[in-house]
A and B are shown apart, each in its own frame.
Chain A
C-alpha cells in the first residue's frame, strides 16, 4: 500500500499528457485528486503516530543485495508527507491556472507529479540507499523544473547551477550514507536510529558528519551554498512555491532532523549546525531586505528560515526540537501561500518588481486578504501560527545555556528584518496608490486563490488553536527529532515573559526598518560590490576554470594529428610494458644457450632487415615499394624454410599483387619530399627503435614458454579422420574454422565494394574544386 502511494505519483505523471489531451483546462483539478487522496490516506496515520507508534512497512526489492523498499512512518516523516501532499494538491491546481495556455503545461504536470512522488519517497524511505535515490530524483526534477522555460538561457544557467550544487553535495552524501550503513551493518534507518552510540564514538564520526552535512547543506541552501536558491526563482512560481520553499529545500533539514538522534548531541554537531544555521539565517534575511523582486525577497527569506531550522536542530534539546518542527510547519504554510500570492501578482500585473507595484488591494481584494494573513504569520504576529513558532524559537534559544545568548541576539536581529521583509512583501504591492503595471490587473482565478487561501487559513487556525497541531502531530515529529518522547504543548498566550517582550521590541524595530527600507536598501547595496567576492562568484570562477581546463585538455589530447595520437599510444605502451618487463625479469629474458642457425637462414633474415631499412629511407617511391616487396618475399621464404608451404604460397601471391597494385597506383605520384624536420625524424627513429626493441624483448621472454597444451595436436589427429583432408592448415581454414573464413571473405568483399565505389565516383568532386 505504501509502495503504491509513493509510486502512484510517477504513474500519474506518465499519464498526465494523455489526460491533458482529454481534459484540457480542467486537468489540474483532476490531477489534484491524487495528492488529495494521498493527503487523506496519510492523515489516517495521524492518530496512531500521535499515540507514539512508529510504522515500518517493508517490500522486498533486490533481496540478494539486501536491498528493501522499506518505509518509515513516524512523526517527522508523516509531517513532511502531509505537507508534501497538502501543498502538492494546491500547487497542481494552481499550476493549471498560472500556466493556463502555456504550451508546455502537460510537461509541468509530468514534472511536478514526479517531483511530488520523489519527495514522498525521500521522506518516507526507511533505507539509506532508497533515500538517496529519491534524494537525487528530487534534484533532477528540480533541475528540469527550474529550466522549465528551456528556451531562456538564463533559466538554463540557473537550473544547471542548482543541479551542480545539489548533486555535488549529493555525491558527498552518498559516501557518508554508505559509510554509515557499513558501520551500522544495515542500511535500514530504523536500525541506524537505534545505534546512535555506535556513531558518536566511532573514529569515522567526523568524516561521516562532514559528508552528510555537505549533502544536507547544499540541498537546503545553507551558507556558503545558499546562492543557488534565489537563482532557482527562474522557475515558474508554482515550482518556486513548492520545491524551493515548502518541500525540496527542506530535504536537507529533514535529513539533519532525521539523523539528530544518531549523529547529534555532540559538540561538533552543535558548533557546525549552530554556526552555519545562524549565519544562513542572517545572510538570508539581510539579502531579502536588500532585494526588490518579490520572488527574490521571498527566496532569501526562505534561506533565512532554512538557516533557523538548521540552527534549531543543531542546538538539540526537547524545546529546540519542538520549535524546529513548529517553525517548519508554520513556514511551509505561510511561505507557500505568499509564493502563490507573488505568482498571482506576477500573473496579473506582469511584473515582479516591488518598486513598480502598489494599491493592488482594490483590484485583487481576496488575494490581498490572503497576503495579509500569511504576511502576519511571516512577521510572527498573534494570533497567527507564525507567532507561536517564533515565541517557541525565542524560548528555545534563550533556554540554551552558554552561547544561547549570542544566538538569541542573532534571532532577535533577524526577526526584526523578517518583520520588515513581511511588510515589504505585503504592504508594498497591495497598499498605497495604485501603480501602472504592464498588464491590467484583475482578481486571480479561483484555481490560484484556493491554495493560498487554505494555507493562510490553516496558519490562522493553528494559531488560534495551537493544540490542534501541537498535541498530536508536532509532538510526535519533535519526538522523532529529539529521539525521546517530547511533551510540550503549544499555546498562543504564554503570559508576559521575556519572549513576548522581545517580540514587541522586534515588531517596533521591524516597522521602523520597513519605513526606512528605500534608504537603507540603497545604503546596503551601496558602493561595496560584495557579490564579487561571494560564493557565487567562486562558483562561476570554478565552473569557468573547469570548462577552460576541459578545452585545454581537448586541444592537447584531441589535437587532430594522427602521429601525436600514435606517439602517445606507443610511448605509453613502451613505458608501461617495458617497466613491467624489467621490474619482473630484469635482464633474465635475454636468450641463452646454443643458437641453432643455418647460414642461408641468416642471409634471409639479414635481407629482411636491410630491405626494411631501405624501404624506410628511400626517396623514390618505386624504390621504396620494391624494397617493401623484398621484405615480403623474404618473409615468404622464411615461411617456406620453416615448414609452412601454404603461408609461403599465399605470401608470394599477395606480395606480387601488392607490389603491382602499388606501382600502378603510385607511379604517377612524385617522389617523396622531405616533409618533417631532422629533429622529428630523429624522434621517430628513437620511438621506432624503442618499440621494435620492446617487441623483440617480449619475444625473447616468451620463447620456449608454453602455458597450456596446444590444441594443435587435436587438429593434426582429426584432420583426416574427421574432415578427410591431408593438408591440415587447409582443413582448419575451410572446415574446423570455416565460419572465421566466411568472415574473412566478408571483409574482403567489403573492401572490394569500397574500392569499386571510390573508383566509380572518382571524377565528380575533383571538378568542383577551384
Chain B
C-alpha cells in the first residue's frame, strides 16, 4: 500500500502547491491545509504502515506481545494536526479582516502597509 499512498501524497502536494501559488488569499489557505495533510500523510506512510494493530496494550499485559503500529510518528502527527488547526483559525480570521479592509482577496492588491 505504501507506493499507492506515496502517489496520493504526491498528488496532494501538487494540488497544494498549485493553490499556494494562486493570487487569491482564500485559495492560499486551502492550499496550506492540503499541504499539511500531505505532510502528515507523508510522515505516516514512510514510517511504515501496519494493518489492524493499533498501539494499544491489551488489558492484563505489561507490554505488547504481538507487533504493533509505530506509536511515535502517530504522536508527532497528532501534534501537527492540532497545530495546523491553530494556524488555520488564525488565517481565516486574517482573511476575513483583510476582506473587510481591502475589499479584495487578490494578494496583488494588498500592497500598502497603512490600511
Q: Which residues of A contact B (CB under 8 A)?
A: 560-563, 566-567, 570, 591, 595-598, 601-602, 605, 608-609, 612-613, 615-616, 621, 624-625, 628, 631-632, 635, 638-639, 641-647, 650-651, 654, 657-658, 661-662, 665-666, 669, 672, 675-676, 684-685, 687-689, 691-693, 695-697, 699-700, 702-703, 710-712, 715-717, 719-721, 726-729, 732-733, 737, 740-741, 744, 747-748, 750-752, 754-755, 758-759, 762, 765-766, 769
With A685-B18, A766-B100 already in contact, the answer to whether A612 and B89 are too (CB < 8 A) is: no
A711–B18 alpha-carbon span in the complex (Å) = 37
Contact of B59 among A628, A699, A726 (CB under 8 A): A726
**Can you report 29 A-B residue pairs in the complex whose CB atoms are below 8 A from each other?**
A563-B21, A567-B21, A609-B8, A615-B15, A615-B34, A635-B40, A638-B41, A643-B50, A643-B51, A647-B77, A662-B29, A662-B92, A676-B22, A684-B22, A685-B18, A688-B13, A692-B11, A695-B38, A703-B46, A710-B72, A712-B70, A716-B57, A719-B63, A729-B74, A732-B71, A748-B85, A751-B87, A758-B93, A759-B93
**A744 B26 Cβ-Cβ under 8 A:** no
With A721-B62, A748-B82, A765-B101 already in contact, the answer to whether A696 and B51 are too (CB < 8 A) is: no
Q: Which residues of B contact A (CB under 8 A)?
A: 1-24, 26-27, 29-30, 33-34, 37-38, 40-42, 44-46, 49-59, 61-64, 68-72, 74-75, 77-79, 81-90, 92-97, 99-101, 105-108, 111, 115
**B13 A692 Cβ-Cβ under 8 A:** yes
* Closest CB in chain B relative to A555 CB, distance in Å: 15
A697–B21 alpha-carbon span in the complex (Å) = 22
* Nearest 4 Cβ contacts at the A-B interface: A696-B10, A692-B14, A643-B69, A751-B86
* Closest CB in chain B relative to A647 CB, distance in Å: 6
Q: Which of B4, B61, B62, B87 has the most CB of A within 10 A?
A: B4
With A688-B15, A744-B82 already in contact, the answer to whether A715 and B7 are too (CB < 8 A) is: no
**A642 B51 Cβ-Cβ under 8 A:** yes
* Closest CB in chain A relative to B84 CB, distance in Å: 8
* Closest CB in chain B relative to A730 CB, distance in Å: 8
* Additional 8 contacts, C-beta under 8 A, given A615-B34, A642-B44, A647-B77: A591-B3, A643-B55, A644-B54, A647-B81, A666-B92, A685-B14, A688-B16, A696-B6
* Closest CB in chain B relative to A636 CB, distance in Å: 10
With A591-B3, A631-B34 already in contact, the answer to whether A661 and B50 are too (CB < 8 A) is: no
A672–B22 alpha-carbon span in the complex (Å) = 11
**B19 A639 Cβ-Cβ under 8 A:** no
A591–B22 alpha-carbon span in the complex (Å) = 33
* Closest CB in chain A relative to B83 CB, distance in Å: 6
Contact of B111 among A560, A621, A710 (CB under 8 A): A560
Contact of A654 among B19, B85, B90 (CB under 8 A): B85
**A676 B23 Cβ-Cβ under 8 A:** yes
A122–B3 alpha-carbon span in the complex (Å) = 67
**A672 B27 Cβ-Cβ under 8 A:** yes
Residues of A within 8 A of B30 (CB): 615, 624-625, 628
**A728 B19 Cβ-Cβ under 8 A:** no
**A716 B55 Cβ-Cβ under 8 A:** yes
A497–B54 alpha-carbon span in the complex (Å) = 109
A560–B108 alpha-carbon span in the complex (Å) = 9
A733–B83 alpha-carbon span in the complex (Å) = 14
A591–B7 alpha-carbon span in the complex (Å) = 11
**B20 A566 Cβ-Cβ under 8 A:** yes
**A563 B23 Cβ-Cβ under 8 A:** yes
Q: Which of B38, B63, B86 has the most CB of A within 10 A?
A: B86
**A635 B79 Cβ-Cβ under 8 A:** no
Contact of A729 among B11, B40, B58, B75 (CB under 8 A): B75
* Closest CB in chain B relative to A686 CB, distance in Å: 9
With A621-B26, A635-B41, A710-B70 already in contact, the answer to whether A605 and B13 are too (CB < 8 A) is: no
Residues of A within 8 A of B20 (CB): 563, 566
* Closest CB in chain A relative to B86 CB, distance in Å: 4
* Closest CB in chain B relative to A254 CB, distance in Å: 54
**B55 A728 Cβ-Cβ under 8 A:** yes
A442–B100 alpha-carbon span in the complex (Å) = 73
Q: Which residue of A lies closest to B19 (CB)?
A: A616
Contact of A684 among B17, B90, B97, B107 (CB under 8 A): B17
**A615 B19 Cβ-Cβ under 8 A:** yes
Q: Which residue of B lies closest to A710 (CB)?
A: B70
A765–B102 alpha-carbon span in the complex (Å) = 10
A605–B5 alpha-carbon span in the complex (Å) = 7
A631–B87 alpha-carbon span in the complex (Å) = 18
Residues of A within 8 A of B75 (CB): 729, 732-733, 737
Contact of A695 among B3, B42, B89 (CB under 8 A): B42
With A684-B22, A699-B46, A758-B93 already in contact, the answer to whether A609 and B11 are too (CB < 8 A) is: yes
Contact of B9 among A639, A651, A699 (CB under 8 A): A699
A662–B28 alpha-carbon span in the complex (Å) = 13
A687–B97 alpha-carbon span in the complex (Å) = 30
Residues of A within 8 A of B26 (CB): 621, 624, 666, 669, 672
Residues of A within 8 A of B87 (CB): 751
A628–B29 alpha-carbon span in the complex (Å) = 11
With A605-B5, A688-B18, A748-B86 already in contact, the answer to whether A716 and B71 are too (CB < 8 A) is: yes
**B89 A675 Cβ-Cβ under 8 A:** no
Residues of A within 8 A of B49 (CB): 642-643
**A755 B90 Cβ-Cβ under 8 A:** yes
Contact of A675 among B79, B81, B106 (CB under 8 A): B106
Residues of A within 8 A of B41 (CB): 635, 638
A7–B94 alpha-carbon span in the complex (Å) = 58
Contact of B68 among A643, A697, A748, A751 (CB under 8 A): A643
